[in-house]
């Protein structure tokens, strides 16, 4: 697990600005670096760089339209990213659950010992 490809997707959605860009693109549909930069607290150039990163991992696709460059979300790839989030979350959940159950068992044993003892 946690292979190179996974890590790429993760670090792509790991950045807060990139997460917000994906949110905006999902909410409002395709947009340009300029239009997106009006809704995040960074410059157009910073947004453009993030879009390059997102494009590189396939989470968005560019399409020229006149002098503009519109970016849209690749739904299949985003679904894949979501699946990875879920996967990690579930792994941790399972381990947390196991720890919780183990703690309970130890507690029960301790109670039992205390009972036989007193």
Partner DNA sequence: GCTATTGTGCAACAAAAGGTTGCGTTGGTG
Partner DNA sequence: CACCAACGCAACCTTTTGTTGCACAATAGC
Q: Single out the segment in contact with its own copies by CB under 8 A; choices: 4-12, 48-56, 60-68, 105-113.
A: 4-12
Identity of the residue, 20 or 44, whose beta carbon is nearer to its own copies in the bound complex: 20
Query: Which single residue is written with the structure tokens 């029960």?
Result: 108
Please give the structure tokens belonging to residue 79. 């679904």
Identity of the residue, 67 or 114, whose beta carbon is nearer to DNA in the bound complex: 67
Minimum CB separation of residue 111 from its own copies in Å reads 21
**Could you list the residues that contact DNA (CB under 7 A)?**
11, 15, 17, 32-35, 41-46, 48-50, 53, 66-70
**Could you list the residues that contact its own copies (CB under 8 A)?**
2, 7, 10-11, 13-16, 19-20, 22-23, 26-27, 75, 78-79, 81-82, 85-86, 88-89, 91-93, 95-96, 99-100
């Amino acid at each position: 697990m946690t292979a190179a490809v996974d890590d790429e997707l993760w670090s792509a959605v790991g950045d807060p600005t990139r997460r917000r860009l994906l949110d905006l693109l999902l909410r409002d549909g395709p947009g340009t670096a300029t239009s997106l930069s009006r809704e995040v607290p960074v410059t157009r150039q910073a947004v453009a760089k993030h879009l390059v990163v997102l494009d590189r991992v396939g989470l968005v696709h560019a399409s020229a339209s006149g002098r503009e460059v519109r970016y849209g979300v690749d739904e299949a790839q985003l679904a894949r990213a979501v699946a990875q989030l879920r996967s990690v979350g579930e792994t941790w959940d399972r381990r947390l659950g196991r720890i919780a159950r183990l703690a309970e068992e130890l507690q029960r044993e301790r109670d039992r010992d205390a009972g036989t003892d007193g």
